[in-house]
Amino acid sequence: MSTKFSLEELELKANDIRQDIIKMLECAGSGHSAGPLGLADIFSALYFDVLKHNPAKPNWNQRDILLLSNGHCAPVLYATMAHAGYFDKKELLTLRKFNSRLQGHPERQRLPGLENTSGPLGCGLSQACGMALAMRMNKDKFRWIYVVMGDGEQDEGNIWEGAMLASKYKISNIICISDRNNIQIDGPTETVMPLEDLHAKWESFGWYVIEVDGNNIEAVIDACAMAKAVVEKPVMIIAHTVPGKGVDFMEYDFHWHGVPPNHEEAIKALHELRTLQGKIRSEHE
């Protein structure tokens, strides 16, 4: 993308993406709310600033790769892709419907611009490793591979197998972003299966670790820039996010991990997002 957006524009895009997530989930009648809302700032930063990509040419051979490892957060990926111009925003309301390209969990072959098929957790990083090693063998022009993964997902052993491999082969063009929102489907991560000390875990696996406020777009962009300056090591950005971010009654509540808003809740949520939780007046009032 050649256009550089201002921070304010990126924040507005994140808000628009959140509104679309609410509309999509309400229309679908099922799906995950908390994770996608919490990730909207990260996705706005990635698709409108960080990533080298071209929505008109999804298979461009010099694009950066973004792998969504926690496939249940598909709504934020789809909404952001639509805003970036990969497809018409009208299609967003087909999420989870029969014959839609927007499957409940992303299927690569259904929609141009998807790099992987995910949903079953823990597989994104290893696929990124395979891609990076293939690029190295191909002597490709240098490209970045971003992996967005959940925190609860890190209960999976496959993640740590990939972590060891990336470190062994000094795969420095992988930048992982952990959505550290502290919830998973059955409760707080530290109750279900404690992950802390997550920073020390990744560091001890040979990764360079950055911690950042994942709802601060500027901080996310800065962290990605810093990650690119690290050589010989893969980088893990632990992005602390608020699950359900932007919708007061969803924030921090793990019960919103895997359910959509109903019609009344959606109206309430959209009102909150349009008024920035009551801070401004909305034209929709």
**CA–CA dist 139, 258 (Å, integer):** 42
* The one among 1, 27, 93, 135 contacting other proteins by CB under 8 A: 135
Asked if 155 touches other proteins (CB under 8 A), the answer is no
- Report residue 236 CA to chain centroid gap: 14
Please tell me the count of residues contacting other proteins according to CB under 8 A: 31
In terms of Cα–Cα distance, which of 239, 215, 216 is closest to 227?
Answer: 239
Interface with other proteins (CB under 8 A), residue from 91, 155, 161, 218: 161
Shortest distance, CB of residue 10 to other proteins, whole angstroms? Answer: 29
- Based on the shown chain and the rule CB under 8 A, indicate whether residue 154 belongs to the binding site for other proteins: no
CB-wise, 120 or 188, nearer to other proteins?
Answer: 120
Minimum distance of other proteins from residue 52's CB (angstroms): 16
Q: Is 222 in the site for other proteins (CB under 8 A)?
A: no
User: What's the closest the beta carbon of residue 8 comes to other proteins, in angstroms?
Assistant: 36
Q: Rule CB under 8 A: is residue 147 a binding residue for other proteins?
A: no
User: Closest approach of Cβ 66 to other proteins, in Å?
Assistant: 13
Which residue from 29, 130, 188, 278 is in contact with other proteins, where contact means CB under 8 A?
130
Candidates 164, 200, 225, 276; binder of other proteins (CB under 8 A) is 164
The reply on whether position 56 binds other proteins by CB under 8 A is no
Sole binder of other proteins in the list 59, 99, 137, 264 (CB under 8 A): 137
Give residues 94-123 in contact with other proteins (rule: CB under 8 A): 107-109, 115-120, 122-123
Contact 22, 273 (CB under 8 A): yes
Judged by CB under 8 A, the residue of 99, 138, 142, 229 near other proteins is 138
Report the interface residues with other proteins, using CB under 8 A.
Answer: 107-109, 115-120, 122-123, 126-135, 137-138, 140, 157-158, 161-162, 164-165, 169
